[in-house]
Amino acid sequence: MPITWSHSLDGMDWQELEALYRAAPLGNKNAADLETVFTNSRFCCLAREQNRLIGAGRALADGADWPTVFMQNAAV
């Protein structure tokens, strides 16, 4: 199935992101804290497959230069 990418947090299910962090494993982050850090980030990117959240990233920026993120494509 194709992966869809989005930069919008509109309608974000923060509980789903919390579960993704645990599955990754990136630790036990609670939904409220994830909402705070993602909404306060300058850039966010979400990946979905069949409306299921399969990836998320965020970047902070200083307003003078672009943050850079390098990712390697890997099977999920």
Reported as a single tens digit per residue, the pLDDT across 9-64 is: 999 999 999 999 999 888 899 999 999 999 988 889 999 999 999 999 988 877 77
pTM of the model: 0.78
Q: What is the pLDDT of residue 76?
A: 47
Q: Looking at residues 57-76, what average pLDDT do you find?
A: 66
Q: What is the pLDDT of residue 12?
A: 95
Q: What is the pLDDT of residue 70?
A: 55
Residues 6+ apart with CB under 8 A from 35: 12, 14
Determine the Cα–Cα distance for residues 68 and 71; give it in Å rounded to an integer: 10
